[in-house]
Amino acid sequence: MYSIIRDQNVLEMALKLAKGNYQRNILLGYEAISGATLRGRARSYCGRYRRSAENLIRRCLENNLPIKEVVGEHNKRIIVIG
């Protein structure tokens, strides 16, 4: 998993701010913030997906949601919600 969910209510509010499946999957922990989980042609657009993740985090912070990014084992980028 690429996310730690500490507060389900914050997750629900963040999901409302997410634009598209990729951003929802980042919040749910199915996709990596770094773009490491991208496959196929999407892999060649890794920079755009990374910007998308950064925009999601920025929108959440602008709406005062307690979301942050931490570095886990092996420099794995993890989003902490709540």
Burial class (CB in 10 A: 0-12, 13-18, 19+), 19: exposed
pTM for the model: 0.86
First to last CA, the chain: 16
Structure tokens at 9: 């209510």
pLDDT tens digits, one per residue of 58-73: 999 999 999 999 998 8
Q: What's CA 16's distance to the chain center, in Å?
A: 13
Range of the structural domain that residue 60 is part of = 3-81
pLDDT tens digits, one per residue of 7-48: 999 999 999 999 999 999 999 999 988 888 888 888 888 888
Query: Residue 51: which H helix or E strand, with range?
Result: helix 46-62
- Count of the separate structural domains present in the chain: 1
